[in-house]
Amino acid sequence: MTERTDVRGARTRRDISRLRLIAQRLTPGPTSSPAQIVRWMTCTQAQDFRAGRSAVALRARCAVDDVDAAINAGEIVRSWPMRGTLHLVPAGDLRWMLALNGESTLRSARRRHEDLGIGAEDIETARSVTEQRLRGGHALERRALFALWESYGIHTGGQRGVHLVQALCLRAHLVLGPINGRQQQFALFDEWVTHSKPVDRAANIADWARRYFRSHGPATIADFRWWSGLLQRDLAPVWESVRDDLVEIAVDGTSYFGAPETLEAWEERRSATLRPMLVPPFDEILLGYADRTPTLDAPHMDLVVPGGNGAFKATVIDGGRTVATWRRSMAKSTPPVEVSPFDGALSKRAERAVPGLSRRYPFPS
């Protein structure tokens, strides 16, 4: 069983936030390639493709073009592994993730499919014509794929196309792979993903949990269940073996679990966790948890996710706290980014740091 501990001085929820910055590779640490970062993170939110690529580049300390190269090499793919949301994942992990969550996601979408008039026959027809068109290493952007379906009488309007393509991806027929210009293309899963790890439900769940707590911890069991979409009955049979590899931290009566190496890095990197940073929209530092309040104060939640609409803005983090939102400035005569502080003004430290951070931020071309 894991040791229950207080990390030298890490006794507050804000310390939990700062430790997460270390775990998520948002402070200086080991040099990693984009593929290594995606494997470390396991799943990186990428509903917004530009933001997802920037999130990987920020952690790998590289250009977005390097992330694109890893995608085009087939090392990183994009699909719906969990929560019905697009993520960047290691290509070799996607099949077992879909084996765990694909059918449950489809069940959740069943009512919407009924409303849209999508039946099993529609999905099978779309699969058949798509496989005929893409077989042999071909790929199509979404617009061209929808045009193909329309030519066979498969209507794609009113979100039908989006739900059909998601259904084919959830069943491992299609995957988002190569990039053409600014658009990612769909390819046949079995042709684009050339190697997959074995599907073994218990082993896969245990691996997923270990990797989550190593890359996102300290986090709670509820955080992992929300993030992965797995149920307590899925996690319970393997939890003790996972827990043995983690350290438990008690803060305000809540148990958080993280990797020993994150805690070991605390003394060396704790000052780095105080430095201001710009993070993309939908970044895992907020999206990766059911409870985001260690990093984002509850009164400011609506400023980051207006109206609770699920669209997370890009944020400024300072001292482990989310203190502002930001956006790229379109005017050449202004600073590279426009910042909207929550409490009227940034700290002097953040004010000084933001211009340099914005120049180094990995914006997609």
**Cα dihedral 319, 320, 322, 326 sign:** positive
Mean pLDDT score, 279-304? 97
Which of 14-28, 37-51, 333-347 has the lowest average pLDDT?
333-347
Mean pLDDT score, 170-195? 96
φ and ψ at residue 45, rounded to 5 degrees: -50, 130
Quick one: tokens of 93?
């992990």
Quick one: tokens of 268?
């060396």
Q: How confident is the model at residue 1 (pLDDT cuts 50, 70, 90)?
A: very low
pLDDT of residue 308: 87
Which of 202-216, 270-284, 330-344 has the lowest average pLDDT?
330-344
Quick one: tokens of 80?
């719906």
Which pLDDT tens digit goes with each residue over 49-67? 999 999 999 999 999 999 9
Mean pLDDT score, 353-359? 94
Sheet with 174-180: strands ordered across: 44-45, 85-90, 76-82, 174-180, 183-188, 139-140
Give the DSSP H or E segment for 197: none
Q: Where are the domains of the chain?
A: 4-26+212-269, 34-192, 273-360
Question: What is the distance between the alpha carbons of residues 81 and 291, in angstroms, rounded to a whole number?
Answer: 21
Q: How confident is the model at residue 7 (pLDDT cuts 50, 70, 90)?
A: very low
Per the CB < 8 A criterion, the answer to whether 43 and 81 are in contact is yes
Span between the terminal Cα atoms of the chain, in Å = 48
List the Cα angle 37/41/42 in 5-degree steps.
Answer: 110
Question: Which DSSP letter does residue 106 get?
Answer: H
Neighbours of 65 (CB within 10 A): 12
**What residues contact 331, with CB distance under 8 A and at least 6 apart?**
none
Which pLDDT tens digit goes with each residue over 105-140? 999 999 999 999 999 999 999 999 999 999 999 999
Which of 130-134, 166-170, 258-262, 361-365 has the lowest average pLDDT?
361-365
Reply yes or no on whether the pLDDT at 309 is more than 90. no
Closest CA to 215 of 284, 293, 292: 284
Q: Please list, residue by residue across 234-253, b when 16 or more beta carbons sit within 10 angstroms of its beta carbon and e when fewer do.
A: bbeebbeebbeebbebebee
Question: What is the distance between the alpha carbons of residues 345 and 348, in angstroms, rounded to a whole number?
Answer: 9
Question: What is the distance between the alpha carbons of residues 305 and 325, in angstroms, rounded to a whole number?
Answer: 10
Reply yes or no on whether the pLDDT at 297 is more than 70. yes
Neighbours of 115 (CB within 10 A): 11
The C-alpha torsion from 299 through 301 and 303 to 307, rounded to 10°, is -110
Reply yes or no on whether the pLDDT at 10 is more than 70. no
- Indicate the residue type of 32: S
Which of 9-23, 29-43, 255-269 has the lowest average pLDDT?
9-23
pLDDT of residue 110: 93
Q: How confident is the model at residue 333 (pLDDT cuts 50, 70, 90)?
A: low
329 vs 150 pLDDT, higher one: 150
Mean pLDDT score, 179-187? 94
Cβ neighbourhood burial of 362 (10 Å; 0-12, 13-18, 19+): buried
Helix/strand/coil for 154:
coil
Which pLDDT tens digit goes with each residue over 186-195? 999 999 999 9
Per the CB < 8 A criterion, the answer to whether 148 and 41 are in contact is no
Reply yes or no on whether the pLDDT at 9 is more than 60. no
In 10-159, alpha helices (H): 13-23, 34-41, 49-60, 64-72, 94-108, 110-116, 120-134, 142-151
Mean per-residue pLDDT of the chain: 94
